[in-house]
Amino acid sequence: MSRKLLSSMIAALFLAAACGGQEQSEQGISLPPRDGGVTVSEALASSSQVGWIRGFLLAERDQPVMLCEVLDESFPPQCGGAALVLRDGVLWREPYSDSYPFGDVPPGGGITDGVLTTDEPCGYDLDGPCIGLLGVAASGEVFWTDVAYSVIGTVNGGELRPLEAPPGGDL
């Protein structure tokens, strides 16, 4: 086997390992890694983080949807520590759990018109359409998750914006 071919094969193996054999969602976007992705602090420290970020979703009525590294122990909760504003078009995904064994795709949604959505906008009431998701709670004015979720996008000035297709390619 030639050195050039061997070098190419080794490079391909490293690339496959780095990608972790990422599964693809129905939109062709990679599903989040099992650990949910990088922390909000790690994403903010990066000059142009593109990919999955884990944190707690927090949506106050008439305020931007936030991804919080931690939630303060208050009622209703507030972001503690690092946080990102989630802009329209950002996608979110419920974390993997015992309910979604390896290979099953957990439910997800996006941010539409500044509101968390699945097929419908998530509400602020306990009987809202998103209340069946893992770790979700609502107080009438605030919607939040008690477990970390994954969101995907590009960090820009403290905001998470939707991924854009790379030049000449799809997501």
**Domain segments of the chain: what residues?**
23-161
Q: Is 34 exposed, middle or buried (0-12, 13-18, 19+ CB in 10 A)?
A: exposed
Lowest average pLDDT, out of 11-20, 31-40, 82-91, 115-124, goes to: 11-20
- pLDDT tens, 120-169? 898 888 888 888 888 999 999 999 999 999 999 889 888 999 886 544 44
Share of the chain above pLDDT 70, in %: 74
Q: Tell which residue, 163, 170, 165, 168, has the closest CA to residue 49.
A: 163
pLDDT of residue 129: 85
Predicted local confidence at residue 126, as pLDDT: 80
Q: Is 53 exposed, middle or buried (0-12, 13-18, 19+ CB in 10 A)?
A: buried
pLDDT score, position 46: 82
Contact 23, 150 (CB under 8 A): no
Mean pLDDT for all residues in the chain = 78
Residue-wise pLDDT tens digits, 51-71 = 899 999 999 999 999 999 999
For residues 105-122, average pLDDT:
89
